[in-house]
Amino acid sequence: MPCRHESELIQLVEEAKKVTGEGKIADYIPALGKADPDDLSVAIYHIDNTCMAAGDIEKKFTLQSISKVLSLALVLIDHGEEYVFDKVGMEPTGDPFNSIVKLELLNPSKPLNPMINAGALAVTNMIKGQNSEEKVSRLLSFIRDLANSPNVAVCEETARSEFETAWLNRSMCYFLKQHSIIEGDVEELMDVYTKQCSIEMHSLDLAKIGAVLAMDGLHPETGRQLIPKDIARLCKTFMVTCGMYNASGEFAIKIGIPAKSGVSGGIIGLVPNGFGIGIFGPSLNNKGNSIAGIKLLELLSKKYSLSIF
């Protein structure tokens, strides 16, 4: 793995931290507003099971939109590609992650991809289970296996905070229900979705999940094939084309690795057959991506020629 010396990584984190002041914490989910804007931490988990870290990696953060890659993997495992892509498309969008506009403009009214909120809500609607508890527990147990950590759990405070304020996501659900993209009770779906987004972990857990994707679904620690290879490939492709929302093109050019961000300031990244990266830096840029996290990935990619292109 490229970053052998911890001091090099610490130096890069210090350098990247300089831009935290130019960003802003997401506070449309009130619980996220409590984060410290100056935070920046990173863990790098190599597929040979060695790890590098810098910053305060003891701090936990919620996955938010990073969870969209994992819920997608789970429903693809459960239902197969045909079923899933009948309801959600495969195309990137230039619109923000929470935009509703294309749903009405497109015919059929199908979310463009599973990484924007509309598509992710449709995906979460496909998680198997008799009720919301079963669905959340199924997803949680899948994510615990990916992180190989039984401590990964839902942050109930963040889930409640989003549940009580997610009016735009609710509107999208009703629109999608009208157009038969989702079925069932919208409040139950919102319960599952807000808990999914509030799954909380450390950067090292996230880096390990990145390492699983770097190994095409095989867990480097447990040796279990947790995601079939073709599904892992599909998830990584979505990460490249849509993972950083309407900044995915610039990210592919400047950094060039599969990655997915969340409004909590988390970013998962990976270098195929190399390592997984877990970043937490809650100050966000105007596209909703961690401003210092992106800076750090830029520095890492440049220094170690990480781009897959």
Q: Which residues bind ligand DON (CB under 6 A)?
A: 64-65, 97-98, 117, 162, 169, 197, 261-263, 288
Residue placing its CB nearer to ligand DON in the complex, 220 or 278? 278
- Any catalytic annotation for residue 193? yes
Ordered strands of the 61-62 beta sheet: 61-62, 199-201, 153-154
Cβ 263 to ligand DON shortest distance, Å: 4
Residue placing its CB nearer to ligand DON in the complex, 162 or 205? 162
**Catalytically annotated residue among 263, 283, 290, 295:** 263
Residue placing its CB nearer to ligand DON in the complex, 111 or 288? 288
* Contacting residues for 55 by C-beta, under 8 A, at least 6 apart: 10, 13, 39, 40, 41, 42, 203, 280
Cβ 37 to ligand DON shortest distance, Å: 16
Which tokens go with 217?
Answer: 């679904």
- Cα separation, 102 vs 223, in Å, equals 42
CA 214: distance to chain centroid?
A: 15
Q: Name the residue among 269, 251, 299 with its Cα closest to residue 45.
A: 269
Residue placing its CB nearer to ligand DON in the complex, 93 or 169? 169
**DSSP for residue 290:** B
Cβ 303 to ligand DON shortest distance, Å: 25
**Catalytically annotated residue among 71, 154, 193, 261:** 193
Residue placing its CB nearer to ligand DON in the complex, 148 or 169? 169
Largest CA distance in the chain: 55
| Angstrom distances, CA of residue 84 to CA of 88, 280, 285 | 6, 30, 31
- Cα separation, 279 vs 265, in Å, equals 8
Cβ 277 to ligand DON shortest distance, Å: 17
- Cα separation, 118 vs 105, in Å, equals 14
Cβ 218 to ligand DON shortest distance, Å: 27
**Catalytically annotated residue among 19, 67, 68, 132:** 68
Q: Is 263 annotated as a binding residue?
A: yes
- Cα separation, 44 vs 42, in Å, equals 7
Q: Is 192 annotated as a binding residue?
A: no
Q: Is 174 annotated as a binding residue?
A: no
Identity of the amino acid at 217:
G
Q: Is 221 annotated as a binding residue?
A: no
Helix axes 6-17, 291-304, angle to 10 degrees: 140
Q: Is 169 annotated as a binding residue?
A: yes
- Any catalytic annotation for residue 68? yes
Q: Is 162 annotated as a binding residue?
A: yes
Which residues are identified as catalytic?
65, 68, 193, 245, 263
Known binding-site positions for substrate: 65, 117, 162, 169, 193, 245, 263
Known binding-site positions: 65, 117, 162, 169, 193, 245, 263
